[in-house]
Amino acid sequence: MSSPKQKHRRKSLHELFTDLDIPHTESPPTSPTKRKMMRQDLRSTISKGWPVRTSLDNSQVMSMTIRADDIYLQYAKDQDPQKLFDKAATWLSVIQNKVTDEDDTECVLKETHDSIIRAIFGSNMIERAGLGWDITLHLCQKILSGEDVSDFTERSPQYESELLEMYRKQGNLKDMPAQYILRGRREIIQHARAFQYIIHKFVVEKQDLTEEIIKETHRILTKGVPIIEEGFDDVAPEKYGGIYRDVPVGAGSTMFTVPHFIPGKMKQLCENLKAELQHAKSCNSIDPFSVAAKYSLEFVQIHPFRDGNGRTCRMILNAILCRYAGIIVPIGEQREERREYINIKKQASETMEGHGPYAVFVLSRAVTRLRELKKKLTGKGKPA
């Protein structure tokens, strides 16, 4: 939980977990089956045209044209937003025309899942959540493929074998309290499940991004993960997951939306996004990088939840990019990138000058992902 004046820096978990007992929660028995169906549904969606095709009427289905907004603000000397956008448009056009058979579909599905895993790892790194790369990769691959990933506690029969397996994948965990490891594992699992959920709803089912979907994404993300901050009472996940906060929070000199106005602000955000996407559909053109940057930034400036806003913000960003540009953009894998990302978001919150610099940041990373996907689809990025 955050104080009225300042959002607390997250403590290292091994400093906090001495007597904490994270409650054991069982996932519904049908969850692996549902996740397998989600994987199949995403594959089916990709096979019908990628990025997702837009239905103009009952008979015509086509791809949107991407056109640049005029909001891009260059924040680094070596960046030219127009050149970046031109590259993105060129490579996206190649991708749209290339996904024509089962091999192409599998290539896009694998690249999407690989990028989701990287996005989860980077997002967790920004928030000092989760565990290392090898464990993140192992758990996320199982979840996204529909395999069962069971929860366990220190009293579970498989506790020792699971712990030894994690030690093998990340040696420095041997020096960490067991509760640190269990929480980090849980944060990865729930992040993957939340990511899969929002992609399924917004990209596969093509639903509007509603408050209900955002709340459920956040509830899944935080399931089984209490808020623990020194000097404050613990907050159970049932008390804040998918629930708009009722306490004021801030970061540095920035105060986020006061609780009373959060429902109205979130309603407005979802309505504005829906209207903008409907307008884009009617014009058959969109700037997916600008739209994704704009609404994910607005979300984090509202900061509607007590914790997990950053990770939810980046899932919203990637849900929009996935549907309209066919890519997932990992952010935060490297320390320098995390620093750059945090500085841009901080500046945007302090100056309130819009999402221009953030849109360039997103665009530059999107270009890299589009280039890699294009290479793989055209055979240039495939292993020999």
- What pLDDT was estimated at residue 114? 98
313 known member of a binding site: yes
Q: Are 369 and 327 within 8 A, CB to CB?
A: yes
312 known member of a binding site: yes
Residue indicated by tokens 């613990």:
234
User: What's the mean per-residue pLDDT of the chain?
Assistant: 88
CA 312 centroid distance within chain:
6
351 known member of a binding site: no
As for how many domains the chain has, the answer is 1
Residue 153, domain extent = 13-377
- What pLDDT was estimated at residue 62? 59
Identified catalytic residue from 113, 191, 200, 303: 303
Domain membership of residue 348 (yes or no) is yes
pLDDT per position as a tens digit, 242-298: 999 999 987 766 789 999 999 999 999 999 999 999 999 999 999 999 999 999 999
Give the three-class secondary structure for 210.
coil
Q: Are 135 and 120 within 8 A, CB to CB?
A: no
Domain membership of residue 383 (yes or no) is no
Closest CA to 151 of 67, 305, 26: 26
What CATH number is given to the structural domain containing 232? 1.10.3290.10
* 326 secondary structure, DSSP code: S
314 known member of a binding site: yes
Q: Which of 13-22, 154-163, 195-204, 352-361 has the highest mean pLDDT?
A: 195-204
Domain membership of residue 7 (yes or no) is no
pLDDT per position as a tens digit, 350-368: 776 789 899 999 999 999 9
Closest CA to 48 of 179, 204, 178, 188: 204
Domain membership of residue 384 (yes or no) is no
Give the three-class secondary structure for 254.
strand
Which amino acid does the sequence have at 209?
L
308 known member of a binding site: yes
Q: Are 187 and 129 within 8 A, CB to CB?
A: yes
Over pLDDT 70: what percentage of the chain? 86
Taking residues 111-128, report their average pLDDT.
98
10 known member of a binding site: no
3-state secondary structure 225-238: CCECCCCCCCECHH
Domain membership of residue 51 (yes or no) is yes
Domain membership of residue 162 (yes or no) is yes
Active site residue 279: no
Q: In a 10 Å sphere around its CB, with 0-12 CB exposed, 13-18 middle and 19+ buried, how is residue 313 labelled?
A: buried
Domain membership of residue 2 (yes or no) is no
pLDDT grade for 77, boundaries at 50, 70 and 90: low
Domain membership of residue 4 (yes or no) is no
pLDDT per position as a tens digit, 1-54: 444 434 444 444 434 444 444 444 444 445 788 999 999 999 999 999 999 876
307 known member of a binding site: yes
